[in-house]
Amino acid sequence: RYNPVNIQMLSASLHEQLFPDTPANTQSTDVIQKCIEHLSAHGLWGKAKSAARDVDMTLPPLLGENIDDHFRTIARQQSNAYYDMSQDIASSSLPSVPDMWEFRAGWCRYTEDTDGLHVTQVECPPDDALVFDVE
């Protein structure tokens, strides 16, 4: 399957699965002519081409109305947990800076409540996200 300027396109089977209810060619003759002129100006019009054989396979159903929705849905599925954590950390309040830092091996957790600032030695940070201020 080729478009009006002789560029190989997706097979009809794949096109129908990825772009349902969308006609294969909807370009005006003016647009096609401009494409041919542009390809000619760069010495590409009429060049020999190699063709890949048509692929005829059944794809999984699209997640959404179109291919854009499909990949946005997959991206959200893959990144939502990190997005939620970034929102949580961005909206959290910063603790007060301690008057004295604890200098000991391992991790120290600084927490603050109505009784003031508390330092607890922990095996590892229990938090979902950490911010390091390294200068």
Residues serving a catalytic function are 133
Q: Report the candidate in 84, 76, 83, 113 with the shortest Cα–Cα distance to residue 96.
A: 113
On the 0-12 / 13-18 / 19+ scale of CB atoms within 10 A, 35 is middle
Let me know: does 83 contact 42? Beta carbons within 8 Å: no
d(CA 135, CA 119): 22
